[in-house]
A and B are shown apart, each in its own frame.
Chain A
Amino acid sequence: MRTILYLIRKEFIQIFRDKFLGRAIFAIPIVQMLILVPAVTFEIKEVNLCVVDKDLSTESRELVSKLVGSTFFKVRHATFSEREANDLLHRNKCDLILQIPAGFGKDIGKGTPTKLMASANAINAMNAQLSWAYLNGVIIDYNMNLLAREIGSRTFTAIPQIEVTNRYWYNEMLNYNFYMQPGILGILVLAIGFILAGLNLVKEKEIGTIEQMNVTPVKKYQFILSKIIPFLIIGLIDLALGIIIGKLVFNVPFVGSMGLLFLCSTVFLIAVLGLALLISTFSGTQQQFMFTGFFFMIIFILMSGIFTPLESMPDWAQKIDLLNPVVYIMRINRMVMLKGSTLYDIRTEFLALVLFAIATTTLAVNRYRKTA
């Protein structure tokens, strides 16, 4: 036990002797959280609309003014030439073009169906579909008005209607900060622990100081533990800082138990630190570790469900994802912080992390050879 304590002290001295790293370990997560959390929203703020009104009748103007009046559309440009409109779309000056053909008003007057053309920039398919849905909504509304005017109220028989009401639980206002903060916090804690711990061991190998360690009576498990515990402590401090920032700056609610979150994060950190050490036992140089680590990390993160829904992934990928520790901590962070889930609710995730932690640390201890 005393041996481990001495070793841990040595690690801390080494880490904080590097003035830059000592500060960066805490500064980077704080800065990144402050900048990145509010960045993400998925709603479209406004759609820049370009109107090509070739009709210029009362009817077409009525439709355009309806669009101007909606909070969703900004009518940025109005032109008569299709060419110019397409060019605006090309240059990203507008997202959506609405073309009203000549004779639009006349057709409506006569009661013959008439067409409208919309062109959307669909590189971002989701945005395009959404803005098209909104435009369609305005047009349907316009149609209904036409119909109502024509028929008056006389033939209005009651058509059975199912009404939809909805509520968002745990985050009534759909504040995206509440969604991003636990996720980004998880990634930062992961990245810092993973990289620092892995680099640390591999650096000793590369410089050759590991030889000195190997000739001491320090046992394999003691050595690995002394490489895990300092970074575990640093990771937990970062976590605490992150939670404080979340509370103070973004007012992210913390519904669940703080102790439970820290317990889960501890297990998670042990699991990833073990993995980092395992990878570094396979690597000869810091460069090798860096690229292998980068490869694992980016795939873990992108498949973790922090940015995209897990359910949308194909079945085989969801199976592979069972081996991705980041999935579990993302879920746990959000569930405990926002929904107040208890240990019983997250028992599967928690167990998975425990298994992970046991597996990676045992493997790391086993793989570490005292003989060079």
Chain B
Amino acid sequence: MKRLLVFVKKEFLHIFRDFRTMVILFLIPGALILLFGFVVSTDLKNATVSFLDLSNDEMTQKLSDKICSSGFFKRGENLKSFQDIDPALRGNKIKAVIIFEKDFSAKLISEGKATVNIITDGSEPNMATMATNYISAIVADFNSELAGGGKAAALRVQPEVRMFYNPSLKSQHMFVPGVITLIMILICALMTSITITREKEFGTMEALLVSPLKPIQIILGKIVPYFILSLVDVIIILLLSRYVFDLPVKGSVVLLLAEAMLYILMSLSLGILISTVSKTMQQAIFISLVGMMLPTVLLSGFIYPIENMPKAYDWVSAIMPPRYFIIIIKNVMIKGTGFLYVWKETLILTLFTLGAIGLSMRKFNIRLQ
């Protein structure tokens, strides 16, 4: 036990000596949380639209003003003819073109029907559908204004909706759990994956192997310091989300921290596994950064919900530990449910942890070559 403690102390000294890495370790979670809180969002805001107004009358003016004053759209350069549409969209200056047909109001009055045509840039499908939907909704609103607003009162069945867990529809509820999940696994795996390979590459591994430390003690000694650092990271994120975004932990904080510890332990053992497999630091870094970053961002259901993915991805993401942790953290933090709702996911994470530790113990050579 005392040997282990000394070894842990040595690892701590290693970490603290590299001041810049320490700072970045604490900076990354904070920066990401603020980035998602204040910068990145999937909502439609200020998308530039251009009008191709072939009739230019009072009605089209009114409708285009209504569209541009909605806050979702910003008026771009007016187009003169159909030939202008392609260059405008190709130059990426605008997201959508709204075309009013010729004799718009005249047709509306005489035939009771006029057409608005929306052309959107399908190379960004999400933007395109959102813009189309929002413009259609604004036109529908305009329609009911035209009808005198009498139609709404005639509605017999009035639906009411309650948005559970997130009444104000804030996006924080998605990204805070996401950032914790993403950052923990990447940082933990990165940190531990290079510790053992570094000893190998520099030859100091030999010194460790001839010492009376057992393999399990070496692995534990490598895990413990990073475990503590990562836990501090989790706490920083939770404090930020509580005091900056007003998103408190609804369920039990103790349960959340316990689950976070399990997840950290899992990620650290994954890092150890990577480091026992790779021969050089370069390999370890390549696996944990290039190999893991993009799949974790995309497949953990952090930006893109797993429910929306094709069926086969249920299986693909089943081997991604972040997927389970994100369920746990959403349940405990936002829905406020107890352990009974997340025991299955907890069990799976535990199995992942044991598997990774077991494998690295087997792969851990006590001989050099």
Contact = CB atoms under 8 A, between A and B. Distances in A.
A300 B152 CA distance: 47
A166 B120 contact: yes
Size category, B interface: 35 or more
B223 to A, nearest CB: 17
Contacts, number: 359
Contact of B28 (A36, A125, A294, A303): A294
B122 A159 contact: no
Interface stretch (B205-213, B225-233, B281-289, B351-359): B281-289
B89 interface: yes
Nearest to A334: B123
Interface stretch (A183-191, A217-225, A263-271, A356-364): A183-191
Contacts of B41: 308, 312-313
B165 interface: yes
B303 A308 contact: yes
Contacts of B309: 39-41
Interface in A153-179: 158-172, 174-176, 178-179
Given A114-B158, A117-B160, A291-B24, A162 B139 contact: yes
Nearest to A339: B90
Size category, A interface: 35 or more
Contact of A127 (B28, B165, B305): B305
A322 interface: no
A174 B160 contact: no
Interface stretch (A4-12, A18-26, A228-236): A18-26
A309 B124 contact: yes
B165 A20 contact: no
A206 to B, nearest CB: 8
B24 A122 contact: no
Contacts of A158: 112
A39 B39 CA distance: 25
Contact of B161 (A41, A119, A303): A119
Contact of B310 (A41, A111, A114, A291): A41
Interface of A: 18, 20-21, 24, 28, 32, 35-36, 38-45, 63, 89-92, 108, 111, 113-129, 132, 135-136, 139-140, 142-143, 146-147, 158-172, 174-176, 178-179, 184, 187-188, 191-192, 195-196, 199-200, 203, 285-288, 290-295, 297-299, 301-303, 307-309, 311-314, 317, 331, 334-335, 338-342, 345
Q: Which 4 A-B pairs have the closest CB atoms?
A: A171-B122, A168-B122, A122-B163, A166-B118
14 contacts: A39-B313, A40-B298, A44-B307, A117-B162, A119-B163, A143-B157, A167-B117, A167-B120, A168-B132, A203-B282, A291-B20, A303-B35, A309-B126, A311-B47
